[in-house]
Copies of this chain bind each other. A is one copy, B any other.
Amino acid sequence: MVIEYDGTDFAGWQRQPAGVTTVQGEIERVLCSVLDEEISLAAAGRTDRGVHALGQVASCMTTSSIELQRLHHALNSLLPPSIRIRDVTEAGESFHARYSALWRSYRYVLALRQSALGYRFSGTYRGKRPPDIDRLNRSASLLCGTHDFSAFSKKGSDPSSTICSVMEASWSVGDGQLVFSITANRFLRSMVRFLVSATLELGAGELSDALASGRCPNALRPAEARGLFFREVGYEPDEMG
């Protein structure tokens, strides 16, 4: 399944105890009632509270033989309008939305002027001067390649490994918005939001030091969740079944 959601009113992707509304919890509840069996979803990215998705990918196993188009329609009829299933396909047996993913991409949007209509979907630009896009892109280019990103993640959240390979990281400006785009094989918890703040607020030297030492300047806070969009996931074409 490819899924779009407005994360504002959800406590993130990951299922939580009863009483806490999450995107995974909502979709599993509806899948369970449509397929009449317990369903456990695997997702390409476990987005945090308040983070949005344009193309989250989730997979599950089912013994149901329901027609895909009927399933697609039933899900969108029963889910809240802030979650839309964009596509449902049958995948190969070895496919797993999380483990089969080759790369993920995120986008972070900062509004350059306050906007009532854009508030839900953008962070606030706090710079006193207009953004220097060349400087931002020189900082972003330091992130490319394989590095230990432990300076730029929530502590104690990802015990397995803190090494990520960034394939692309860049800033662009237009239409009253400043946008950060990043693609990597994997991301640590809150990593994109830390990198947004780091490229905006740190000098190139400080950024390189933090990357090399694994220690982040104390004052650096991750950018607000509401500007972050989980955009797309890449798989081997034949993995998609």
Which residues on A are within 8 Å of B, measured CB to CB?
Answer: 4-6, 52, 54, 76, 81-84, 114-117, 119-121
Contact = CB atoms under 8 A, between A and B. Distances in A.
Contact of A119 (B54, B81, B114, B116): B81
A84 B6 contact: no
A116 B82 contact: yes
A185 B138 CA distance: 52
Contact of A6 (B52, B81, B83, B116): B116
A119 B76 contact: no
A121 B119 CA distance: 13
This protein's copies in its complex: 2
Nearest to A54: B117
Interface majority SS (helix, strand, loop, mixed), chain A: mixed
A65 to B, nearest CB: 25
A53 B54 CA distance: 26
Contacts of A121: 117
A113 to B, nearest CB: 9
Nearest to A114: B84
A5 B116 CA distance: 5
Indicate the member of A83, A114, A117, A119 with the most B CB atoms within 10 Å.
A117
A117 B76 contact: no
13 contacts: A4-B115, A5-B116, A6-B119, A6-B120, A52-B116, A54-B117, A76-B114, A81-B116, A81-B119, A83-B116, A84-B114, A84-B115, A84-B116
Contacts of A120: 6, 120
Nearest to A6: B116
Identify the 5 closest CB pairs spanning chains A and B, nearest first.
A84-B116, A4-B116, A81-B119, A5-B116, A6-B116
A13 to B, nearest CB: 13
A161 to B, nearest CB: 32
Contacts of A115: 4, 84
